[in-house]
Amino acid sequence: MTEQIALHTTTLAGLLAPLVEMEWAELARPEQKTPAGDWRIWLILAGRGWGKTRTGAEDAVIYGLRHPGSRIAIVAPTQSDARDTCIEGDSGLLSILPPQLVQAWHRSLGELILKNGTRYKLFSAEEPERLRGPQHHRAWCDELCAWPRAEAFDATFLGTGYIGFNLARTASNTWTLYGDGTRNGGAMIEASPYGLFRYYAIPSTGTTNATMTDTSVIAALRFLVTDSNVALCGDNGLESFRATRTASQVNRIEVTGAVTGSPATIAAQGSDTNIDLALSPKGTGRLNISINTANTVTTVGAAGGASALPATPLGYLRTTINGSIRKIPYYLD
């Protein structure tokens, strides 16, 4: 009996879905029908009473029915606008969808789920940050001109993407690190439209699947790029090295490796003829330099001679050499 009921429900849903599309094809004016072809943005710029809300709702419904398991964002000026107008309103999704096609409407969560697996998620343009993580196949942007924060459109249109290698987000605050019986371990690349790129290296934890939290994944951050910085990160996900871009810069630092017998170098390079190289400790911190004292040779002229140093230096550089504090005298050239 259970199998018969399930089969009946599936068959009914299969019959109702095309009817929804056929009904709109009969009612809609030509300009209200979803354009054909490969487009990314369909802008409806029209006045009150044109049918913008109904058109957006019908497009979202038809797409969700045609593509089972799809994810569709519904973004409105406020969360209550998305709920009261786009879902529960006279022209909202619930007024169009037959109840037999709806799995659940989680009003408090702002999520409508169809029986074919399609999910509609509500967002407020007041909180564009919430749009930077989720991925969607389609988005309905209602009353765009009334959005309080324009950057919400960028977040909706471009989204934030991540590619997991042997790693997948399987639930809220839950990541699965897959094992092959020999080892696991993986990586993730994350990017956003705001010039942000992150690379996470996930070390092996064993030979079987492992579960990780958002915190443990974030701690695996190893490489970070923003619109102004490039950083390498340590085991805790915090930056250990940062290169910062300066507006209108013309000079730079170059770090160069070396072959056997030659020194590695840190050099100032750029378009200026003369470029200072500054090393700046923070606060009362010191500049520590480690040297091999066995290879240090100092040649000073005899006292009173032409090459002799003055009896009194101009001042001292206070530093730590090989763990010991030293004062290095300096003289007027």
State pLDDT tens for residues 8-30: 445 566 677 788 888 998 999 99
Which regions in the chain score pLDDT beneath 50? 1-9, 160
Distances (CA, A) of 205 to 169, 182, 217, 290, 320: 17, 11, 13, 37, 40
What are the tens digits of pLDDT across the range 278-305? 888 888 887 777 766 666 555 666 665 6
Q: What's the chain's length in residues?
A: 333
Q: What integer pLDDT is reported at residue 83 of this predicted model?
A: 95
Question: pTM of the entire structure?
Answer: 0.48
Q: What whole-number distance in Å separates Cα of residue 92 and Cα of residue 186? A: 43
Question: Is 220 within 8 Å of 202 (Cβ atoms)?
Answer: yes
Distance between CA atoms of residues 188 and 198, nearest Å:
8
Domain ranges of the chain: 2-158, 161-244, 293-330
DSSP state of 85: I
Nearest to 42 by CA among 54, 55, 29, 51: 55
Q: In three state form, how does the secondary structure of 23-42 look?
A: HHHHHCCHHHCCCCCCCCCC
- Specify the pLDDT at position 161: 56
- Helix (H, G, I), strand (E, B), or coil: what is residue 159? coil
